[in-house]
Chains A and B, each alone.
Chain A
């Protein structure tokens, strides 16, 4: 688009500064993963690859990664199902209290994590506890899914709004039944939004620590909890750094895929 050159230049500079702000701490993390100081001393006291070797053989980190992936995938699937259903209901039907649904769906992510965490904790322990419910991985998944619904919901809802209903109407005019219209017409239309929503929902769950702290059973260690507890072990902080560096680099793949698959990028919403 044509923009006045002064504005363009300002924006270029600003973008550069913004990216620098975003990436300098990440660079520091990578740099520190080779720092021989065990507590990220600055300036680095020496170069070492010891932390990388130790991280590779850290089965604790690996199993925490597994737990996090499992929790993230389960939370994402629940969020996909519930978020899509709610989005369809709100975009394709009129009913009393439609606007309240939006509010309700948004609420879990907008309430501070500590409020959500305490609320869920109180329910799990005090209300459901006597019925044999104990904090574990399932409670973490429930907590994560609750605040991930909104992400899928928003992505799908926005896509449905843009798509309109004419294609679906055409499909049913041509004789397709409800399911056929859905699978052949509607679903391909929202697929990109689903992928974008799914990746963001997974990311949100993957790095969540506050709600997790309050909903995880003592035997459950997600990656953020592992990182937290290892900052309290002597000599483990640099290994944590390596894990974070790897995550940041590896994350480019799913994020890029999400952008690719979502087709038009406007749907990738938080």
Chain B
């Protein structure tokens, strides 16, 4: 269910817009620049002994307790270590997570980039005292103080893992090896009926990212901040792509099976899908970061401002960021670990290299998923298209 990017941007818009309007500042995409101040929430100054309970909201796959696969279990060791019994509620969407956090019944959440700012500006989450999370020190530096998980240099969570939406192709069919997203846009007709794309309105950002460099006259600077004109251009491009698309995908099983059966030969993917296909070895596939850069995601563990078990939550944030646990969860899930030391703990020694886990230059090419709002997310004005517009556009593209 995870990674089905479906969310209502509108909720974020109001909170952000209100906060921004009140303070009279514009939000800024560069960390370090002044951002609107979120409501004041107290930050913990020490971590005492556990309260015995921990209520989490998480993506399916982030808090495995052995119930889906007996060998995949990092929750029970945590419980044994800390005495904090973990109860997890899975959020199907970022919206679910925001709604659930608002109830104040939970201690923490594994929030994605499209939920984090909403939570921060609504005052639902508290700033995190990173000094109390020893494992934070060795988290990849490019994940620290990002504009999706911090405000004015204050971290609001502990990074968990991240990943990129790559271009995958079957080298036996797709020649020469593509280096640009044009393979699925302007040159898509070359593989008519065998092109695949991610089935979500957020995929519009991939088209925008391509247009950013292929058509500079449009003036796109951030793929999540599109004016009506820029969105229309992206829609036109995607409509053209639609003629060559064989099918859209939204889950691993479908994506893997499409490439293995030859239904799709080129299109957007996640590293984990490429690995699954290559491990099945019926078809060989390659992935590439095209020259235009890629979109991607980054998740952060955040603590509720109303947490009843803050000590357990701090213990959890430190635990999940610890090298061995972060290795387990991200390796099983198929994303890059946030913890640099996790790489030494992977059962597959090549895992971190495959996922470019510590590759700063690689990470710099990723434009992390953010919910588009009317108030441009890059802070360049208030005439951007909202996620609702994107959904309608996506439905028109699908036809």
Contacts and interface: CB of A to CB of B under 8 A. Distances in A.
Whether A and B touch directly in their complex, counting CB atoms under 8 A apart, is answered as yes
A4 interface: no
A60 B280 contact: no
B278 to A, nearest CB: 12
Interface in A158-178: none
B257 A41 contact: yes
Interface in A4-51: 37-42, 45
A233 B280 contact: no
Nearest to A238: B253
Interface stretch (A116-124, A140-148, A224-232, A251-259): A224-232
A70 to B, nearest CB: 17
Interface in B288-342: 332-334
A59 interface: yes
Contact of A236 (B69, B89, B272, B281): B69
A219 B106 CA distance: 13
A269 interface: no
Of the listed residues A61, A63, A218, the one surrounded by the most CB atoms of chain B closer than 10 A to its CB is A218
Interface stretch (B59-67, B124-132, B169-177, B355-363): B59-67
A237 B254 CA distance: 10
A39 B249 CA distance: 14
Contact of B280 (A37, A59, A228, A230): A37
Contacts of A61: 68
Contacts of B251: 231-232
Nearest to A63: B67
A41 B69 contact: no
B282 A45 contact: yes
A60 B63 CA distance: 13
Given A37-B282, A45-B280, A57-B70, A233 B257 contact: no
A58 interface: yes
Q: How large is the interface on B (under 10, 10 to 19, 20 to 34, 35 or more residues)?
A: 20 to 34
Interface string B5-22: 000000000000000000
Contact of B334 (A229, A230, A231, A234): A234
Contacts, number: 84
A229 B1 contact: yes
Given A40-B257, A45-B282, A54-B69, A233 B60 contact: yes
Interface string B37-76: 0000000000000000000000011000011111000000
Given A38-B280, A40-B257, A41-B280, A234 B1 contact: no
A237 B67 contact: no
Interface string A197-232: 000000000000000000000110100000011111
B282 A234 contact: no
B320 to A, nearest CB: 18
Given A45-B282, A54-B70, A39 B256 contact: yes
Nearest to B92: A218
A235 interface: yes
Given A228-B1, A229-B1, A232-B1, A41 B70 contact: no
Contacts of A41: 257, 260-261, 280, 282
Interface in B86-115: 89-92, 96, 100
B2 interface: yes
Contacts of A231: 251-254
A234 B331 CA distance: 11
A61 B68 CA distance: 7
Contact of A39 (B61, B96, B260): B260
Contact of B272 (A40, A45, A230, A234): A234
B276 interface: yes
A218 B90 CA distance: 6
A236 B68 contact: yes
A221 B70 CA distance: 19
A133 B100 CA distance: 14
Contacts of A237: 252-253
A40 B255 CA distance: 12
Interface string A51-76: 00010011111010000000000000
Contacts of B257: 39-41
B280 A39 contact: yes
B4 interface: yes
Contacts of A229: 1, 60, 90, 92
A44 to B, nearest CB: 10
Contacts of B100: 218
A1 to B, nearest CB: 47
Contacts of A234: 252, 272, 276, 332-334
Contacts of A228: 1
Given A41-B260, A41-B280, A232 B2 contact: yes
Interface of A: 37-42, 45, 54, 57-61, 63, 218-219, 221, 228-237, 239
Given A60-B67, A232-B3, A232-B251, 5 more contacts: A58-B67, A58-B70, A228-B1, A231-B251, A235-B276
20 contacts: A38-B280, A39-B253, A39-B280, A40-B253, A58-B67, A59-B67, A60-B68, A218-B89, A218-B96, A229-B1, A229-B92, A231-B253, A232-B1, A232-B2, A232-B4, A233-B60, A233-B61, A233-B68, A239-B68, A239-B69
